[in-house]
Chain A
Amino acid sequence: MSPRPRVLRTLALTLALGLAVLTGCSAGSGGNAAPGAPKTLRFVTVYPANTTDPQLVHTAFILNSGTTETLVGLDPHSLKLYPWLAESWETEDAQHWTFRIRQGVTFHNGAPLDAEAVRAALQHALDVNPGVVAALKIDSMTVVDDHTLSIATTSVYPALVSNLVHYNTVITDVTDTGDVPMGTGAFRFESFDPAGRSVLVRNDQYWDGRAKLDRVVMTANEDSNARMLALQAGDADIIYRPSLESIPTLRADPAITVDSVTGTRVYHLQFNYVGRHAALWNNRDFRRGIDALVDRQSIVDGIMAGQGTVAFNPFPGDWPFSPTPLGRAHGTEAALQHFKAAGLEVNDGKVTHDGKPLTMQIVTYIARPELPLIAQLLRESAAQVGITLNIQVAENIDEYLPKTDFDIATYSVLTISRGDGAFFLNGAFGKGGAQNHGRLADPALLAKLDAYNTEIDPATRIRMIKEIGGYIEEQQFNSYLVVPNETAAYRNGVTGWLTPGNEFEFPMITKDLDLA
Chain B
Amino acid sequence: MTTRRLPWGVFAVLAVLGLLMLGPVLAPHSPEAVDLSQRLHGPSAQHWLGTDNLGRDLLSRVLTGAQITVGLSLLALALSILIGVPLGLLSGWIGGRFDWAVMRVVDTFIALPDYIVAIILSGLLGPGFVNMLIAILVVKWVGYTRLTRSLVMQEKHRDYLMISTLAGGSTGRVLRQHMVPHIVGPTLALATMDIGKVILLVASLSFIGMGVQPPSPEWGAMLNDGRAYFAQAPQLMIIPGLAIFVVVALASWLGDQLMRRHTISADDERIAHVLA
Contact of B231 among A246, A298, A379 (CB under 8 A): A246
Q: Write the A218-242 contact mask toward B (1 if CB under 8 angstroms, else 0).
A: 0000001100100000000000000
CA–CA, A366 and B227, complex, Å? 13
CA–CA, A317 and B39, complex, Å? 28
A249 partner residues in chain B, CB cutoff 8 A: 231-232
Give me 20 other A-B pairs in contact (C-beta within 8 A), A377-B34, A391-B214 excluded: A225-B227, A243-B228, A245-B53, A245-B229, A245-B232, A248-B232, A298-B36, A301-B36, A302-B54, A303-B54, A377-B36, A379-B215, A380-B33, A380-B34, A391-B215, A392-B127, A394-B126, A394-B127, A395-B123, A395-B126
B128 partner residues in chain A, CB cutoff 8 A: 392
State whether A376 touches B214 (Cβ < 8 A): yes
State whether B231 touches A373 (Cβ < 8 A): no
CA–CA, A486 and B56, complex, Å? 28
A357-380 contacts to B, CB under 8 A, are 366, 369, 372-373, 375-377, 379-380
CA–CA, A298 and B55, complex, Å? 12
Is B230 part of the contact surface with A, judged by Cβ < 8 Å?
A: yes
A301 partner residues in chain B, CB cutoff 8 A: 36
A287-344 contacts to B, CB under 8 A, are 298, 301-303
A385-413 contacts to B, CB under 8 A, are 390-395
Q: Write the B31-54 contact mask toward A (1 if CB under 8 angstroms, else 0).
A: 011101101000000000000011
Is B213 part of the contact surface with A, judged by Cβ < 8 Å?
A: yes
How many A-B residue contacts, CB cutoff 8 Å?
59
A298 — nearest CB in chain B belongs to which residue? B36
CB of A489 to closest CB in B, whole Å: 14
State whether A376 touches B227 (Cβ < 8 A): no
- Secondary structure dominating the interface of B: loop
State whether A302 touches B232 (Cβ < 8 A): no
CA–CA, A379 and B214, complex, Å? 10
Interface residues contributed by chain B, number (CB under 8 Å) = 23
State whether B54 touches A373 (Cβ < 8 A): yes
A229 — nearest CB in chain B belongs to which residue? B231
CA–CA, A394 and B127, complex, Å? 7
B215 partner residues in chain A, CB cutoff 8 A: 376, 379, 391
CB of A374 to closest CB in B, whole Å: 10
CA–CA, A224 and B227, complex, Å? 11
B227 — nearest CB in chain A belongs to which residue? A225
Is B23 part of the contact surface with A, judged by Cβ < 8 Å?
A: no
Contact A393 to B214, CB < 8 A, known contacts A224-B228, A246-B231, A373-B54: yes
State whether B228 touches A225 (Cβ < 8 A): yes
State whether B228 touches A369 (Cβ < 8 A): yes
CB of A452 to closest CB in B, whole Å: 38
State whether B209 touches A366 (Cβ < 8 A): yes
The 5 closest A-B pairs by CB, nearest first: A302-B36, A380-B34, A245-B228, A376-B215, A245-B229
A394 partner residues in chain B, CB cutoff 8 A: 126-127
State whether A373 touches B228 (Cβ < 8 A): no
CA–CA, A246 and B228, complex, Å? 8
Interface size range of chain A in the complex: 20 to 34
B54 partner residues in chain A, CB cutoff 8 A: 302-303, 373, 376-377
Please list 28 pairs of residues, one from A and one from B, whose beta carbons are closer than 8 Å in the complex, sorted by A's number: A224-B228, A225-B227, A225-B228, A228-B231, A243-B228, A245-B53, A245-B232, A246-B231, A248-B232, A301-B36, A302-B36, A302-B37, A302-B55, A303-B54, A372-B214, A373-B53, A373-B54, A375-B214, A376-B34, A376-B215, A377-B34, A377-B36, A377-B54, A379-B215, A391-B213, A393-B209, A395-B126, A395-B127
- Secondary structure dominating the interface of A: helix
State whether B209 touches A395 (Cβ < 8 A): yes
CB of A496 to closest CB in B, whole Å: 29
CB of A323 to closest CB in B, whole Å: 28
Q: Write the A146-181 contact mask toward B (1 if CB under 8 angstroms, else 0).
A: 000000000000000000000000000000000000
State whether B213 touches A392 (Cβ < 8 A): yes
Q: Write the A181-197 contact mask toward B (1 if CB under 8 angstroms, else 0).
A: 00000000000000000
B53 partner residues in chain A, CB cutoff 8 A: 245, 303, 373
State whether B229 touches A303 (Cβ < 8 A): no
A377 partner residues in chain B, CB cutoff 8 A: 34, 36, 54
B231 — nearest CB in chain A belongs to which residue? A249
CB of B130 to closest CB in A, whole Å: 12
B127 partner residues in chain A, CB cutoff 8 A: 392-395
CA–CA, A303 and B36, complex, Å? 8
A366 partner residues in chain B, CB cutoff 8 A: 209
CB of B129 to closest CB in A, whole Å: 11
B227 partner residues in chain A, CB cutoff 8 A: 225
B122 — nearest CB in chain A belongs to which residue? A395
Best-buried of B33, B55, B214, B229 by chain A (most CB within 10 Å): B214
B183-213 contacts to A, CB under 8 A, are 209, 213
CB of B35 to closest CB in A, whole Å: 9
CB of B173 to closest CB in A, whole Å: 47
Best-buried of B32, B127, B209, B231 by chain A (most CB within 10 Å): B231
A369 partner residues in chain B, CB cutoff 8 A: 228
B36 partner residues in chain A, CB cutoff 8 A: 298, 301-303, 377
Q: Write the B6-27 contact mask toward A (1 if CB under 8 angstroms, else 0).
A: 0000000000000000000000
A228 — nearest CB in chain B belongs to which residue? B231
B55 — nearest CB in chain A belongs to which residue? A302
CB of A231 to closest CB in B, whole Å: 13
CB of B18 to closest CB in A, whole Å: 30
Q: Write the B204-241 contact mask toward A (1 if CB under 8 angstroms, else 0).
A: 00000100011100000000000111111000000000
Best-buried of A366, A379, A380 by chain B (most CB within 10 Å): A380
Q: Write the B44-88 contact mask toward A (1 if CB under 8 angstroms, else 0).
A: 000000000111000000000000000000000000000000000
State whether A302 touches B39 (Cβ < 8 A): yes
Best-buried of B33, B55, B228 by chain A (most CB within 10 Å): B228
B224 — nearest CB in chain A belongs to which residue? A366
CA–CA, A485 and B230, complex, Å? 22
Contact of A393 among B32, B55, B213 (CB under 8 A): B213
B36 — nearest CB in chain A belongs to which residue? A302
CA–CA, A93 and B105, complex, Å? 68
CA–CA, A248 and B231, complex, Å? 10
CA–CA, A472 and B12, complex, Å? 60
CA–CA, A228 and B32, complex, Å? 30
B213 partner residues in chain A, CB cutoff 8 A: 390-393
B230 — nearest CB in chain A belongs to which residue? A225
B55 partner residues in chain A, CB cutoff 8 A: 302
CA–CA, A361 and B34, complex, Å? 19
B211 — nearest CB in chain A belongs to which residue? A393
CB of A383 to closest CB in B, whole Å: 9
B56 — nearest CB in chain A belongs to which residue? A376
A243 partner residues in chain B, CB cutoff 8 A: 228
CB of B115 to closest CB in A, whole Å: 18
Best-buried of A228, A249, A369, A393 by chain B (most CB within 10 Å): A393
